[in-house]
Amino acid sequence: MSSAIPLNVGIVRSAAGDADAPKRVLLAEPRGYCAGVDRAVETVEKALEKHGAPIYVRKEIVHNRHVVETLRERGVIFVDETDEVPEGALVVFSAHGVSPAVHESAAQRNLHTIDATCPLVTKVHQEAKRFARDDFDILLIGHEGHEEVEGTAGEAPEHVQLVDGPDAVDQVRVRDENKVIWLSQTTLSVDETMETVDRLRQRFPNLQDPPSDDICYATSNRQTAVKAMAPECDLVIVVGSRNSSNSVRLVEVALSAGARAAHLVDFAREVDPAWLEGVRTIGVTSGASVPEILVEGVLELLAANGFGEVVPVTTANETLVFSLPRELRAARA
């Protein structure tokens, strides 16, 4: 995990809940779109420009209601599986990645495919393939049913076991305790993942670590920023969708880092006025699939309720950009 260096965490302390303290917002930086989401959304937009509507996208391109609804209005048809796509049509694979079986099924239906899988997810796929080739048991830490986990596990189903948190460690069975490696979903809680790894290592002392961190820079950076501000916050509002793993993790991280309350909202209209009663400091952040316009909506609503002062809490600067999939590269402005 990229270690974020605190850059601007000089938060003026005020006792949480102090009725005389000024009302203010602490705004996490970094927040919102990561490089993989930016690329995936632009992939669909460029595909629409180049090929015209309708185009098909397997699963939600990224886990955000606003993004999905906006693209649907522009002519994108979201499907669960490739067998819902007409023969020969264009389908985009989402940022979360797909298993080889999905590629095969698309090829059988003569579909034109554009793969918007985040390169950092592809990296975990490559690790799974490599360690399966070397006949390791691969313990994949992740959430059961999440699309990314299904895609990664599908690279080597006979070698991969899912470990869904520390409590699942006791059920793990391996063939050779000296040939075991752990990998992980990219959007987990950093702390909970290390707890799971510690438990796994108690059982398998020779457990091998991944060649590089699987939890991505964007996930860990957003958690670091939330941890920096949470102890000062009476309330943390995370903008993000319920099916967005990294957004849900931000709520958990805020609470475990000392925020008195934390809530996930898709839109400003979901902020319950009761949450603001007796509150002086509100932390605001957003998941990696959230466009900034949704954060602006929340900030406007808070300003209208007396929270006009906004103090940035910066723990990292992000500059990573991924190039578009090959088929669309010439189309990037």
Q: Which residues bind ligand SF4 (CB under 6 A)?
A: 34-37, 95, 118, 120-121, 186-187, 216, 218-219, 246, 288
Structure tokens at 317: 């600067």
Instruction: List the end-to-end C-alpha distance of the chain, in Å, as a whole number.
Output: 31
Report the residue number, 46 or 280, with the smaller CB distance to ligand SF4. Answer: 46
Ordered alpha helix ranges (H), the chain: 35-51, 65-73, 100-108, 119-133, 147-153, 190-203, 217-229, 245-256, 292-304
Per-residue buried b or exposed e for 12-31, using 16+ beta carbons within 10 Å of the residue's own CB: eeeebeeeeeebbbbbbbbb
Instruction: Give the whole-angstrom CA distance, residue 64 versus residue 166.
Output: 28
Report the residue number, 68 or 301, with the smaller CB distance to ligand SF4. Answer: 68
Least distance CB 36 / ligand SF4 (angstroms): 3
Report the residue number, 33 or 204, with the smaller CB distance to ligand SF4. Answer: 33
- Residues contributing to the annotated binding site for [4Fe-4S] cluster: 34, 118, 216
Instruction: Give the whole-angstrom CA distance, residue 236 versus residue 258.
Output: 10
Least distance CB 204 / ligand SF4 (angstroms): 26
Least distance CB 202 / ligand SF4 (angstroms): 28
The residues assigned a catalytic role are: 148
DSSP states of 171-238: G---S-TTSEEEEE-TTS-HHHHHHHHHHHHHH-TTPBPPSS--S-HHHHHHHHHHHHHGGG-SEEEE
Give me the residue whose beta carbon is nearest to ligand SF4: 36
- Element (DSSP H or E) covering residue 144: none
- Per the document, the length of the chain is 333
Instruction: Give the whole-angstrom CA distance, residue 91 versus residue 38.
Output: 18
How many CB atoms sit inside 10 A of residue 10's CB?
10
Least distance CB 93 / ligand SF4 (angstroms): 13
Closest CA to 219 of 316, 309, 111, 75: 316
Least distance CB 217 / ligand SF4 (angstroms): 7
Report the residue number, 187 or 285, with the smaller CB distance to ligand SF4. Answer: 187
Report the residue number, 63 or 227, with the smaller CB distance to ligand SF4. Answer: 63
